[in-house]
Chain A
């Protein structure tokens, strides 16, 4: 019908059909190509990812003694819609030894959407968690009587010894930051929160497995997805072998009992930390499981700050132990020779009096032995003024900077960034800028900073740095950053000092004399050939802190130790015996001085220190 006036309308109708299909293709393009949200929604809809938790790596000490392991705990889950009308609540309560009221309360908690946002009748809900094997034994036998009930196994940390809490750290539930920062984690997962557990989290946690199962619109399980091809088996965490000697650690903690302080022992040649104790401490078991957050808050609110790892985080002026470094730097930078003599007028000396009585003048070995303050003030002064002050003090300032660099080369005043120790303070060796700020650029001279010569004043170090200092002297010129992992990966972090070997020999001789004739003589064990240096640090807030550094045997050092006891008075009285016994323990495997051990460990210097 070509002459039909409406013939052209076929194109309108065809156009409508084409238009409709075109619009739908565009819509399909949007839904299937552009809009990315539907893929995930579909998976959430149909696929249930069941996480299979790997067992966390175990932690051992240097002799292969197990320190940290996993204990199984059990969780009871219930899927409401599978619990029929004739479900025997009474029998269920009996098997768990809970009352009907407790049961009802828990059920209403589960069903309360405000408390339990993910509640669904179709999915398993946690009814009770963190149960011991014996708690669920009865239920396990009669599980078939209670449809909808399942017992799920998870693991918690457990500890062989009530020791090394700071070093080992703890495991806790991840927070939102962790989840945002690492896609490995999801809500409810656990991760190492501090200490080794945190540093080696990636190694210890292993790899979560996943089993993908399909469920239909009613939530019924319909088997595994794509024949389990996408499933992943869990990979257990790798065990961690630490450098700790647990016997030494236990001794250190025992000796520190009733005191606030810390003790660090290092194997000088390797930088391996043999013991790292901080008191007050806690039993690591209290930060596990149900009680974790309650106990954590109690630790947090304890005025003695047990959570602070004093061995790595607390900073002190090093006091007389700093004289060893002063001697080494002055020898190296030409301020003195081993034969240089300085006069000492005992308590009448100016500007710094001497606290000991000895002959005058003194040379270096006797100066260290007797901890002669005037000697080190004179040596420090002569070093800094070696080139005069110069115009605007630049020669003096330059000398100070050289001195400071040398001091810091012992690892003082900075964190061991190449170490695996998590929580560290840097301490501080004041810079010229610091003094410029306080006194003005030309306003400070050697006399202004005289207290630095004897390790008082603005110098601040951590006990860990002190132990490393002892190890450096023991090594006669190098250290490997102190660390806790027994594998050899840390050996590359070797730091060599620009100080000649013979200077170390001179200082070591002095330190040896400390233990024979000097402040440490009462606690020396002749057969062990110890060297050391005591320190008594003035403390503006209370009694002096007692400090000791040392190593043994002098000719081939196996252990370097630093001990700090806060508000204990003389270093020789409290810090030295603790270090001495630790050295004895490590070198001989036991402490023969039973009476000393008993006296020190039972002495309470601070009443408020609690044992957790």
Chain B
């Protein structure tokens, strides 16, 4: 399809998605005005304030969207790798061109405006991954097939995290796990990711909490118990004899019973007992996998070994690897520290702002918390506070539902593609939006640690708005051409 045949574009483009995009952008803009509103505020269009600037960005994003729709859809496929290469160069160069903004080296000044290349990287990585995995000869069969895709997302993530010190933007690339999953990666990888988070939280939060009886820590014992359950599950799943599981459960229970009994006279280190059981089960798994020739069980052994090491490494990572501010954010979230004036300030003020909105909210521009600047970053990362305070429960839920509808729509679009390239790209777009929504709103609601990533279309900022526009409208362009593409 050529640009000259743009008449067709109007018929084939997904207007519903464009409608949702406009609604979100417009509502976001209203809330930026609300969040940055002060008493001597003039107009929503005044360029000297945030809402006025955002209006310019919005106009720009519309222009960008239209331009993207006019470009030949094949261009994206063709240029994917070249763009990826250029992007890596730009990301590498950014720290040297950037000014230090709150410890982040990710902003490049271009005259009056600053751009954050990381915001555009998502789109280009998505294209490159889609191109690689969308090749006709590509089949995701073993973990080897995932090496290149992981490298494609890992390299820019590393650059952004290590060189630009933008942990939030780097973490977004984890969203691609969902894309890989859709393309055939084992669901256990997602579960392992979940398990890693759970183990981390358990060992950090409860690692120092002593057992009420005997010696050892609550965190370590819980981690080991979880691993025991996982091992027994997999052994009994692969073992031909059903009753086998009950023998295992019985033996484990017996060992704990004896330990409890012994504890009457001698203090038993229960976490070591628990780890002993895990190791014993691990050796038993090796035996079974060889004896019954169930070699996939060896993976469970590997996983268990990794987990034991990981649980013990968590504390090290937490205290030595993480930056102090990251550590405090996690501690505050896990309720290990009360610090309403310091690190907990944002979260606490956000909670107050949202909570005080009650059912119907305080009304547009009437939010005292956000208007009086109690919530920091209220027009960028914490913009959802303004929604919560001024539009209440009703407004917040409505915004969340619009997002959900938007994301589900993207999945629908993805699934109707005949081209694997477009489908992978569409899933990448949906996953990135879902990731941003989850992390950002979860942070504002105090459910996740403070990770500075924007709420798509809502948060103030040209780079993020344009980055998301790029992401979305390339998809719309590809989708408009779905009838011409081959599967």
Interface residues in chain A, defined as those with a beta carbon under 8 Å from any beta carbon in chain B: 1, 5-7, 9-10, 12-14, 16-18, 20-21, 23-25, 27-29, 31-33, 35, 37-39, 41-43, 45-47, 214-218, 222-223, 225
Contacts and interface: CB of A to CB of B under 8 A. Distances in A.
Contacts of A31: 351, 354-355, 388, 445
B445 A27 contact: yes
A21 B438 CA distance: 8
Contacts of A17: 404, 407-408, 411, 430, 434
A2 to B, nearest CB: 10
Given A21-B401, A28-B393, A217-B372, A42 B353 contact: yes
A21 B352 contact: no
A41 B415 CA distance: 47
A17 B436 CA distance: 11
Interface string B254-288: 00000000000000000000000000000000000
Nearest to B376: A217
Contacts of B243: none
A568 to B, nearest CB: 68
Contact of B182 (A13, A20, A32): A13
Contacts of B445: 24, 27-28, 31
B392 to A, nearest CB: 6
Given A13-B181, A17-B408, A28 B427 contact: no
Contacts of B415: 7, 10
Given A38-B352, A41-B352, A46 B438 contact: no
Contacts of A38: 351-352, 354-356
B403 interface: yes
B31 to A, nearest CB: 16
Contacts of B427: 13
Interface in B406-436: 407-408, 411, 414-415, 418, 420, 423, 427, 430-431, 434
A25 B397 contact: yes
A30 to B, nearest CB: 9
Contacts of A25: 397, 400
B184 A32 contact: no
Nearest to A7: B415
B447 interface: yes
Contacts of A37: 355
Contacts of A7: 415
Contacts of A225: 368
Nearest to B349: A45
B437 interface: yes
Nearest to A45: B374
A216 to B, nearest CB: 4
B372 A214 contact: yes
A16 to B, nearest CB: 7
A14 B411 contact: yes
B352 A28 contact: no
Contact of A46 (B374, B400, B408): B374
- Which of A1, A25, A28 gathers most chain B CB within 10 Å? A28
Contacts of A21: 400-401, 403-404, 437
B99 to A, nearest CB: 26
A23 B372 contact: no
A28 B404 contact: no
B96 interface: no
B418 A33 contact: no
22 contacts: A1-B487, A6-B183, A10-B182, A10-B415, A13-B178, A13-B411, A14-B411, A17-B434, A21-B404, A24-B442, A28-B388, A31-B354, A31-B445, A38-B354, A38-B356, A39-B355, A39-B358, A41-B356, A42-B353, A42-B368, A46-B369, A216-B373
Nearest to A5: B184
Contacts of A45: 349, 352, 368-369, 372, 374
Nearest to B345: A217
Interface in B175-194: 178, 181-184, 187
B355 A9 contact: no
Which 7 pairs from chain A and chain B are nearest by CB?
Answer: A38-B355, A42-B356, A46-B368, A216-B372, A32-B393, A31-B355, A21-B404
Interface in B320-378: 349, 351-359, 368-369, 372-374
Nearest to B437: A20
Contacts of B423: 1
B469 interface: no
Contact of A24 (B39, B182, B400, B408): B400
A39 B360 CA distance: 13
Contact of B392 (A6, A10, A32, A215): A32
B213 to A, nearest CB: 33
A40 to B, nearest CB: 9
B396 interface: yes
B441 interface: yes
Interface string B169-213: 000000000100111100100000000000000000000000000
A448 B418 CA distance: 119
Given A29-B393, A45-B374, A6 B184 contact: yes
Nearest to B403: A21
B355 to A, nearest CB: 3
Contact of A215 (B372, B434, B447): B372
B354 to A, nearest CB: 5
B443 to A, nearest CB: 11
Contacts of A218: 373
Contact of A27 (B181, B368, B447): B447
A32 B368 contact: no
B356 A223 contact: no
Nearest to B401: A21
Contacts of A32: 354-355, 357-359, 388, 392-393, 396
Contacts of B431: 13
B393 to A, nearest CB: 4
A213 to B, nearest CB: 11
A1 B400 CA distance: 30
> Interface centre among A12, A32, A38, A46, by most B CB within 10 Å?
A32
B410 to A, nearest CB: 10
Nearest to A36: B355
A20 B407 CA distance: 12
Contacts of B356: 38-39, 41-43
A237 to B, nearest CB: 33
B437 A42 contact: no
A24 B401 CA distance: 11
Contacts of A216: 372-374
Contacts of A12: 181, 187
Nearest to A21: B404
B352 A33 contact: no
Nearest to A34: B355
Contact of A18 (B352, B388, B404, B442): B404
A37 B358 CA distance: 11
Contacts of A33: 358-359, 393
A28 B358 contact: no
A17 to B, nearest CB: 5
A269 B359 CA distance: 63
Contact of A42 (B183, B352, B397): B352
Contacts of A6: 182-184
Contacts of A13: 178, 181-182, 411, 427, 430-431
Contacts of B349: 45
Contacts of B374: 45-46, 216-217
A217 B354 contact: no
B42 to A, nearest CB: 16
A39 B374 CA distance: 14
B180 to A, nearest CB: 11
Given A21-B437, A45-B369, 19 more contacts: A5-B184, A9-B181, A13-B181, A13-B411, A13-B427, A17-B434, A25-B400, A27-B447, A28-B393, A28-B400, A28-B445, A31-B445, A32-B358, A41-B356, A42-B389, A45-B372, A216-B373, A217-B374, A223-B39
B397 A28 contact: yes
A20 B389 CA distance: 21
A177 B438 CA distance: 49
